[in-house]
Amino acid sequence: MVGPSAGGTRWSVVVSLLVAAAMAAIAFITVQQAGCPNPGQYVARGDGYELVGGCVEPNDLPIAPDAVPAPQPAPDARSPLRP
């Protein structure tokens, strides 16, 4: 005899698999419609790697605001480490 929780567990597994299959299909369609003929490649340059080619242009990226330097703490005349 099957207990009451076995049917619920089976149902949740089926629903989980259907959701996973739907998400995989959406991801596949999204990649197919991306329209990027040149995905780019990583090239070793100097001390790291650089992405050459691809569909992202420098103007597509947001510009980070200029960093504001953190305020320096006031010097403490009582500090024993101060020269």
Instruction: Write down the pLDDT at residue 23.
Output: 97
Task: Kindly report the pTM of this predicted structure.
Answer: 0.41
Is position 23 within any domain?
yes
Render 22-65 in DSSP notation, one character per residue.
HHHHHHHHHHHTS--S---EEEEETTEEEEESSS--GGGSPPPP
User: Is residue 70 in some structural domain?
Assistant: no
pLDDT per residue of the chain (83 residues) written in tens, 0 to 9: 455 555 678 899 999 999 999 999 999 998 888 777 887 889 999 889 988 888 877 788 888 777 888 787 777 666 666 55
Query: Domain range holding 44?
Result: 4-56
**Based on the structure, what is the number of domains in the chain?**
1
